[in-house]
Amino acid sequence: MAVEHTLSIIKPDATRRNLTGKINAVIEEAGLRIVAQKRVALTRAQAEGFYAVHKERSFFGELVDFMISGPVVVQALEGENAVAKYREVMGATNPANADEGTIRKQFAESIEANSVHGSDSLENAAIEISYFFAQTEIVG
Ligand code: ADP
Ligand code: MG
């Protein structure tokens, strides 16, 4: 296994409920290191660009509205096998299907308001991290 980086977003449902610290604790306890982090209000254009791969999906408009409904915390995470590891720590997209102990099982409200985003491949992780961070902002 190699040290990887992945992009995490703590979504508006979680920032609204003041869960940033609790989610960060789950991330850190899983052995992932938060090597960049900022709290931002996404613009509609930023949210549409970030989720462009989903633009044909029926839920795209609602997803964008949700992602701009409050602040988000964008993070770069570092660790062995970080991309797959964080997907495991997040749990299934639909919290009803998420395993015990995962972030989504513990905190998500619904399939849409599911508290966190995590990159789904190493290639997308690099693209998504560079969407939000300059290399100089990532401090391992
Ligand atoms: P994941 O975030 O687990 O990688 P997807 O990439 O498939 O899931 O979807 C992106 C995001 O779109 C999800 O995290 C969730 O917020 C939202 N979403 C996915 N499926 C649905 C759905 N059926 N209805 C509403 N929102 C959805
Ligand atoms: Mg996805």
In order along its 140 residues, the chain shows pLDDT tens digits of 799 999 999 999 999 999 999 999 999 999 999 999 999 999 999 999 999 999 999 999 999 999 999 999 999 999 999 999 999 999 999 999 999 999 999 999 999 999 999 999 999 999 999 999 999 999 99
Q: Which of 10, 67, 117, 128 is catalytic?
A: 117
Is the whole model's pTM more than 0.95, yes or no?
A: yes
What's the confidence (pLDDT) of residue 5? Answer: 98
Task: Give me the sign of the Cα torsion angle 19, 83, 129, 93.
Answer: negative
Q: Can you read off the two tokens belonging to residue 38?
A: 């900022």
DSSP state of 51: T
DSSP reduced 3-state for 8:
strand
Give CA–CA dist 75/34, Å, rounded.
7
The yes-or-no answer on residue 5 being catalytic is no
What's the confidence (pLDDT) of residue 1? Answer: 78
What's the confidence (pLDDT) of residue 114? Answer: 98
Find the 51 Cα to ligand 2 centroid distance in Å.
9
- Identify the CA nearest to 6 among candidates 29, 41, 36, 43: 36
What's the confidence (pLDDT) of residue 106? Answer: 98
State if residue 109 touches ligand 1 by the CB under 6 angstroms criterion: no
Q: Can you read off the two tokens belonging to residue 105?
A: 């099982």
Distances (CA, A) of 80 to 1, 6, 77, 90, 109: 6, 11, 10, 16, 29
Q: Which amino acid is at 109?
A: E
